Amino acid sequence: MPPYDNQVKKYERRPTEGNPAQTEAWALIEAARRMAVSVTDHPGDDKASKDARKAALRLNWRLWTIFQAELTTERSDVPEEIRINMLTLCKFVDKHTVGSLANPTPEAITVLIDINRNIAAGLSQIPTDADTAQPAQSTGAPPAKPGTGGDSGGGGNPDPNPQPIDVDA
């Protein structure tokens, strides 16, 4: 049984309005779900299976292109370190997707599924303004801005000196 069969049903939720981070997380999870379905529902190497995987890969690629375009605008509210790390990850996703489109194997697609799931998990942990109002008053910490890219998905205290990911190494 492929590892994503049980998780496909968990992805069928819609985001709530007014929270860009939750919307971005939902989009990543939806793209991951479609890639997982393309692997589980089309396990063979026939043309129909490859076409289904390529369609899911192209959808994911479009999503990451949107993220990349948003991160390169001058009006981006994403902190510089996170912006650089995300752009580096976008570059990796671009390169990996091109290779996967040439040879859409389940193993290649699984890498992209895992990236989407991890970034979505980080975005899902960004509190909304309503969630941060009470803790910010008691701790003196400023509320987090929704939709700013969040932490790197690890939760807890983010690294104060994050290093860009070198995908060429």
Whether 143 and 72 have beta carbons less than 8 Å apart is answered as no
Helix intervals (H) in the chain: 20-40, 47-71, 80-102, 106-124, 129-139
φ, ψ (nearest 5 deg) of residue 40 = -75, -35
In CATH, the number for domain 20-126 is 1.20.120
Determine the Cα–Cα distance for residues 52 and 99; give it in Å rounded to an integer: 16
Which residue type occupies 158?
P
CA-wise closest residue to 30 among 8, 50, 52: 8
Whether 58 and 94 have beta carbons less than 8 Å apart is answered as no
Report whether pLDDT(63) > 60. Answer: yes
Whether 37 and 49 have beta carbons less than 8 Å apart is answered as no
**Tens-place pLDDT, residues 116-140:** 999 999 988 877 655 554 444 433 4
User: To the nearest whole number, what is the mean pLDDT of the chain?
Assistant: 77
